[in-house]
Amino acid sequence: MKNLVKRAIRKQPAFCLLTSIVLLLAFSLPLGARESATPKFEKINVIMIGGRLIDVTYHLGFIPEAISACCSSYVGNEIKAQTHHIGCPGKLIQNQADKLEKISKKSGINQIFLEKNLKSCSVDNISKTISKVLNQTDNHYTIKYVDFSQGLESATRQVAKLLGCRENGETLIRSYRKKITGIKKELPQISRGKKVIIVHGIYQKTTGKTFLMVEAPGGYSDEFMLKPLGCVNVADVFKSEKTKTRHGRFMIRNLDALAEAQPDAIVMLGDAFAVQKAIEKNIKKNPNLFQKVPAIKKMAFYSLPAYTDFSIFEYPAVLKQWVEALAD
């Protein structure tokens, strides 16, 4: 057997060298460094309701037994893999209350942390549903509220107090504050009043079809990106009297209205390929767009991450990308 191994090694010296280097690098790291590569979280026997509340808890180093957030897609994969997701808060009121009861009984949960300022659901209705469902269980439970109306720092302190890690809360706040302060120093680089169109692309892999949605003024991107940067959303020119807006966006068939909107930049969310194909199609149909539309003339279209105020500690990184894209 040993002779077979020796012959295999002689035939594959490059492979062995590569393997040796990988092993050497791995084991030359201090033990603490190797362990810190995988962050550790403390599991807590609590049900948490509200995306921002869950995000603060995660960044403080804790993962709850069960969660309910308005959009599961906004909850990180690390959290999803270690917790039970019982649907959106609104569904707790409708048809998911049985999940709450089952998880509560199975895990012996007696605490529920509830975000007091949910943007899409009535907190009073959720509280009533929780009381109605859990009163049928044998577990004595308490509901504790976290108020986000006074801003992120206040909410972080509230959560840190509930979890018994006030010092970690202050460290997290200082880190966030430092990042935001650094980004604000870059804001003067952007011309006030810069006109922007935000287009969300959808690509169907099965059919190869593309669809476009435009973000209406007043949405998340306006509140957290364009307004702080002094930019203006000029999407209204794409709307007609019959246009229906859903979740802050509306469907469009083409980008013909770009000539009227005259955007200085086009921001692409979702599938950028779908938006790029639409721009290409419009240019082929109307080559004069190169001269008429500033964003196309300057090739100022950028694929950027969306922000919806759920993963709140990701905000500085997302804002920084928007700043870099829209800077003069």
Answer whether residue 23 is part of any domain.
Answer: no
pLDDT at 276 over 60: yes
From the list 297, 320, 291, 307, the residue with the least C-alpha distance to 182 is 320
pLDDT at 220 over 50: yes
pLDDT at 239 over 60: yes
Highest mean pLDDT among 19-23, 137-141, 165-169, 297-301: 165-169
- Verify that 320 and 195 share a domain, yes or no: yes
- Verify that 202 and 239 share a domain, yes or no: yes
**Average predicted confidence (pLDDT) for the chain:** 81
Question: What local confidence, expressed as pLDDT, does residue 309 receive?
Answer: 84
Instruction: Select the more confidently predicted residue: 280 or 5.
Output: 280
- Verify that 170 and 205 share a domain, yes or no: no
Answer whether residue 200 is part of any domain.
Answer: yes
Which token pair is 97?
Answer: 């209350």
Question: What local confidence, expressed as pLDDT, does residue 155 receive?
Answer: 96
Distance in Å from the first CA to the final CA of the chain: 67
- Verify that 237 and 256 share a domain, yes or no: yes
Q: What is the mean pLDDT of residues 10-31?
A: 41
Question: What local confidence, expressed as pLDDT, does residue 25 receive?
Answer: 35
pLDDT band at 51 (very low <50, low <70, confident <90, very high): confident
One-letter amino acid of 59: H
Among 132-146, 169-183, 197-211, which is the least confidently predicted range? 132-146
Which DSSP string corresponds to 61-94?
Answer: TEEEEEEE-S-GGGS-HHHHTTSEE---HHHHHH
Answer whether residue 307 is part of any domain.
Answer: yes
Containing structural domain, residue 135: 42-176
CATH number at residue 282: 3.40.50.1980
pLDDT tens, residue by residue, 57-108:
999 999 999 888 865 445 566 666 677 787 777 766 665 566 777 777 777 7
The structural domain count of the chain equals 2
Instruction: Select the more confidently predicted residue: 256 or 8.
Output: 256
The reported pTM is: 0.78
Dump strand ranges (E) for the chain.
42-49, 62-68, 84-85, 111-115, 142-146, 195-203, 210-215, 232-233, 249-252, 265-270, 301-303
Instruction: Say what percent of the chain tops pLDDT 70.
Output: 75
pLDDT tens, residue by residue, 153-202:
999 999 999 999 999 999 999 999 999 999 988 888 888 999 999 999 99
Q: What is the mean pLDDT of residues 32-36?
A: 37
